[in-house]
Amino acid sequence: MHNPKYCLFFDNHTMAACPDVGVDFDAAAFSQKLSDCGVDLIGFPAKCNQGFCYYNTAIGIRHPSLRRDMFGELVAACQTRKIAVTAYFNCGLSNEDAIRHPEWNTISPGGAILHPDIYELGWVSPYIRTMCVNSPYRDYLISMILEVANKYPVAGFLLDSFNGFPCICPVCIEKMKAAGIDWRNRKEVETFAHSSMIRLAEDIVAALHSKSGDYLVYFLGLSAQDNIRLGSYLECECLPTYPCWGYDHLPIMSHHLRTLTSDNRSIINMTGRFYEWGDFGSIRPRAAIEYDVFYGIANGMRPNIGGHIHPRGSTQHAIFDRIQEVYSTAQLNEEWYDNATPIADIGIIVPGEVDKTPSLIGVTRILSELKIQFDIILGNTDFSRYRLLILPDAVPLTPSLAAAIKTFLDNGGAIIATGFSGLDQTGKKFALAKNWGIKHVGECKFFPAFFQPLPQLANGLPDIPLALYERCIEVVAENETEVAALLVKPYFNREWDGVYTNFYLPPDKKTNLPLVTFKGKVAHVASPIFSAYHKLASVDLRTLFANVLNKLLPEPVLKVSGLPSFGKATITRQSGRRMVHLLNYVPELRGKSEIVEDALYAKEVKVSLRCDSFSPTKAYLAPHKTPLALTRENNYASVIVPEMHGYQLIVFE
């Protein structure tokens, strides 16, 4: 199987009205540009979401103005330059097929064929028609995928729009009735639609396996877990300037996906050269693309820059120049990226699917700002590789998760639970009450409550009652449990009392209700502080968390000072060396969109690496191997980076 390093993805969907598709396409010149950029893998449409094919097909519909085998010419030209090509197929959307075969369209639970009530996208959207994968479209689609597999030496397939559009067409109704599914119940129809997409994916994989077991295969729209089972690599699609992703998506997904690849499968980080899909008229600043590319690499992912080529197929040099600037900078460091895997002290447990919830955004931001190394994991992960687990805000303990956490604690691990985390599935009592050392009383009657730390947690916090912003739980500490911060009650709750609205709400008196407790190696914070951080980004809450963390993990694997709070720091590992990646960029909210424009300057950045099984004897700056003086203090080896712009890689050997 091809092992991707530097990828490009041409997400072309060409409207029927374009009169001159491919007329300027020069496969040799185009692939030479790819080669100049050091690209080893491209994704290119075999069939787009408009339902048009770009290869010589005897089955599908070629774009009406395309007069050549654009896809085939590209594959052949790339082959001579040792560039692999994956064939893109949109599976869930195929507009021209939907027009020609109305019986292949999904009928939404609301009865609509046009503009199904899937997303709030309005009328002008690629989702104006969606395909029912239980209709004859299914076999037609699979036969096209096999047609490409048979005709062209492709490295794999990128299969898009596996969203699972709920459908009540006669075929789906019949299948649901046979399976005893209540087709009047929207939730059940959605579950059935998802299982229909899974069955389609299984059938595509089975069909491809009959050709060769060696394809890169990924299903966009299916979860990472489904792709682990059905696909052969992982991919994170994220245009950070597009509101549905933003700059919180990649940090969360990268810290999660990197935990799913114990079998060494590749993880691709797909960003874009422009601001949104369908945007033919922009190239983001170099620093913006660089930030996405380096952020992924710093987390063990390989970069993929998405874009469109002009329908005429002309080579737009300015676009390739920008890609070349970014990729050639990264490629100087390739020897330190190849097969490097991230290191983490901490596992953040997520119940169910990893998503951009307020608590997960909050905890990811807080740990990143503190330069702490962490993974985002599911409850069934092997916890033994971590020193500490965080249960952010609302992680209930099922019997199996409670048992795994008990074993983790018995083996010397530490836990920080916040808010409702640690309660059993009834939500009434702590599942491991003995270990937690506190009793659950119920929801705290004060809202919003404030807090005051005791001296052991007061470092860096202002000496006033500090706001918690979210509703806490009320707990009672057992005798041997240490209470390290107390709730301060407000005069009254923030509410309408029938005459007055109690909006301006000062703190009143300190209570004896605990906010933070420690029992052995379990800390509990009775407030969902990560969701609160997502709401208002109170730095005091981050400081409180840092003080709790410092008591349980006084020696994190990496310490960094001199880099701003928004700067990122991660560690990766290769045999015999550790690489520290520093990123100094800041996404700024400009009007409605967040953007990065500048690579920022930093100086005298101190980087300290904990010496455990690995104890370095030298350190240098990549790529020129500029030596750095290595000093030893206690259990750490430290260097000072004199100055840096944007991204800097430091190597310890």
Site residues (vs Zn ion, CB under 5 A) = 132, 134, 167, 169, 172
CA distance 48 to 154: 17
User: Nearest distance from residue 171's CB to Zn ion, in Å?
Assistant: 5
Contact yes or no for 637/557 (Cβ under 8 A) = no
CA distance 240 to 595: 8
CA distance 628 to 90: 50
CA distance 172 to 193: 9
User: Nearest distance from residue 623's CB to Zn ion, in Å?
Assistant: 54
Backbone dihedral angles phi then psi of residue 148, each to the nearest 5 degrees: -65, -45
Can you tell me which residue has the tokens 């080669």? 35
User: Nearest distance from residue 169's CB to Zn ion, in Å?
Assistant: 3
For Zn ion, the closer of residues 134 and 452 by Cβ is: 134
For Zn ion, the closer of residues 84 and 169 by Cβ is: 169
**Maximum Cα–Cα distance across the chain:** 82
Q: E strand or H helix at 32, and its extent?
A: helix 27-36
CA distance 203 to 158: 15
**Closest CA relative to residue 41, chosen from 69, 4, 95:** 4
For Zn ion, the closer of residues 135 and 227 by Cβ is: 135
User: Nearest distance from residue 124's CB to Zn ion, in Å?
Assistant: 24
User: Nearest distance from residue 126's CB to Zn ion, in Å?
Assistant: 19
Task: For residue 432, give both structure tokens.
Answer: 């491991």
CA distance 244 to 355: 12
For Zn ion, the closer of residues 169 and 637 by Cβ is: 169
For Zn ion, the closer of residues 134 and 299 by Cβ is: 134
Mapped to the 3 state alphabet, what secondary structure does 66-123 carry?
A: CCCCHHHHHHHHHHHCCCEEEEEEECCCCHHHHHHCHHHECCCCCCCCCCCCCCCCCC
CB within 8 A of 128, min separation 6: which ones? 95, 114, 115
For Zn ion, the closer of residues 118 and 582 by Cβ is: 118
For Zn ion, the closer of residues 171 and 505 by Cβ is: 171
For Zn ion, the closer of residues 190 and 478 by Cβ is: 190
User: Nearest distance from residue 217's CB to Zn ion, in Å?
Assistant: 24
User: Nearest distance from residue 528's CB to Zn ion, in Å?
Assistant: 41
User: Nearest distance from residue 195's CB to Zn ion, in Å?
Assistant: 13
Three-state DSSP class for residue 5: coil
Q: Are strands 414-418 and 647-652 parallel, antiparallel or unpaired?
A: unpaired
User: Nearest distance from residue 61's CB to Zn ion, in Å?
Assistant: 21
Q: Are strands 234-237 and 84-90 parallel, antiparallel or unpaired?
A: unpaired
For Zn ion, the closer of residues 94 and 481 by Cβ is: 94
With left for phi above 0 and alpha for psi between -120 and 50, is residue 66 left, alpha or beta? beta
For Zn ion, the closer of residues 172 and 216 by Cβ is: 172
For Zn ion, the closer of residues 168 and 415 by Cβ is: 168
The β-bridge partners of 453 are: 485
Contact yes or no for 41/88 (Cβ under 8 A) = no
For Zn ion, the closer of residues 172 and 267 by Cβ is: 172
User: Nearest distance from residue 91's CB to Zn ion, in Å?
Assistant: 14
For Zn ion, the closer of residues 132 and 220 by Cβ is: 132
For Zn ion, the closer of residues 108 and 481 by Cβ is: 108
Mapped to the 3 state alphabet, what secondary structure does 439-466 carry?
A: EEEEECCCCCCEEEECHHHCCCCCCCCE
The β-bridge partners of 204 are: none
User: Nearest distance from residue 167's CB to Zn ion, in Å?
Assistant: 3
Share of the chain residues as helix, strand and coil, in percent rounded to the nearest 5: 30, 30, 45
Give start and end residues of each alpha helix (H) in 258-398: 286-297, 317-331, 334-337, 358-369
Contact yes or no for 167/129 (Cβ under 8 A) = no
For Zn ion, the closer of residues 187 and 509 by Cβ is: 187
Residue type, 268: I
Using the CB atoms, write b or e for 506-518: b if 16+ within 10 Å: ebeeebebbbbbb
User: Nearest distance from residue 132's CB to Zn ion, in Å?
Assistant: 3
The one-character DSSP state at 600 is P
Structural Rg of the chain based on CA atoms: 27
User: Nearest distance from residue 163's CB to Zn ion, in Å?
Assistant: 14
For Zn ion, the closer of residues 141 and 599 by Cβ is: 141
**Closest CA relative to residue 430, chosen from 468, 478, 462:** 478
User: Nearest distance from residue 172's CB to Zn ion, in Å?
Assistant: 3
User: Nearest distance from residue 144's CB to Zn ion, in Å?
Assistant: 19
User: Nearest distance from residue 133's CB to Zn ion, in Å?
Assistant: 8
Query: Torsion over CA of 142, 143, 147 and 150, rounded to 10 degrees?
Result: 80
CB within 8 A of 374, min separation 6: which ones? 255, 344, 345, 346, 347, 348, 367, 390
**How far, CA to CA in Å, does 339 sit from each of 258, 557, 613?**
12, 20, 20
- Residue 59 burial class via C-beta count within 10 angstroms: exposed 0-12, middle 13-18, buried 19 and up: middle
